[in-house]
Structure 1
Amino acid sequence: MKMALTAVVLGLMASSMSVAAETPIYGSQLMTQQERIEHRNKLRAAKTVEERDQVRLQHHEQMQLRAKEKGVTLPDAPPAMGGGQGRGMVGVGGMGPGPGRGANR
């Protein structure tokens, strides 16, 4: 039971990290690979949603400036803020027997 729970937790951690790595970065076409890594690290280091939003806003302003310098057009609106981790596994039951499945019906 404990090993199964550990496997589930590790699986969820790995999937959340891969999602973060796959999330598009505003203006990424104007960034080097190293800059994208550093930006993601800043987002991961932010302790609150507000801090992450501030990192995103500053990044958005920097990319707008860079785009203007290079003659490239980027969308004016910053990316949606406060996305966070999402709602998780909505509608999925836990690991217990649940109603109607165990010996205690």
Structure 2
Amino acid sequence: MTSRHILSLAALCCLALAAPAGAADTTYGSQLMTPQERAEHRATLRNQATEADRNAYRQQHHDAMQARARERGVQLPDTPPAQGGGANRRAGGQGMGPRGGR
């Protein structure tokens, strides 16, 4: 492999790992978390069985981030950011299934 190929590969890896331009991390307290903690948090949320489980986990995370902020002398907003409207989210939590019996 030539050095040009290695540099190209390295640049592609960096681009693949970087967040898209303008993308904001909406994880509550993300500024107090390491990249690994943020990844683990997202994975834990994805692995919750029900919306109620996800909400309970979010509340635990919120409380933990509030405690971490107090320890570090940082102030976080009282309420977490609004939940995103990702591609798989619809009213009623139906995901990508058929709409209205179509």
Quickly name the TM-score band, shorter chain normalised: 0.5 to 0.7
Change beyond 3 A, Cα 1:53–1:29: same
Say if 1:75 and 1:64 are closer, same or farther in 2 by CA, change over 3 A. Answer: same
- Give the structure with the higher percent helix: 1
Larger Rg: 1
- The number of residues matched between the two structures is 69
- Contact kept in structure 1, 2:26 and 2:81, CA below 8 Å: no
2:89 corresponds to which residue?
A: 86
Q: Which amino acid aligns with 2:66?
A: Q
Partners of 2:25 and 2:68 in 1: CA distance: 21
Identity of aligned residues (%): 58
From 27, 41, 51, the equivalent of 2:53 is 51
Between the two structures, name the one with larger relative contact order (CA 8 Å, sep ≥ 6). 2
Alpha-carbon separation, structure 2, partners of 1:30 and 1:23: 12
Following TM superposition, where does structure 1 have runs of at least 4 consecutive aligned residues deviating by more than 3 angstroms? 78-81
Shift in Å at residue 24 of structure 1?
1.2
Query: Structure 2 regions of 5+ residues with no counterpart?
Result: 1-23, 97-102
1:35 offset after TM fit, Å? 0.3
**CA, structure 1 residues 37+23, in 2 after alignment: closer, same or farther (shift >3 Å)?**
same
Please give the root-mean-square deviation of Cα atoms over the aligned residues, in Å: 2.8
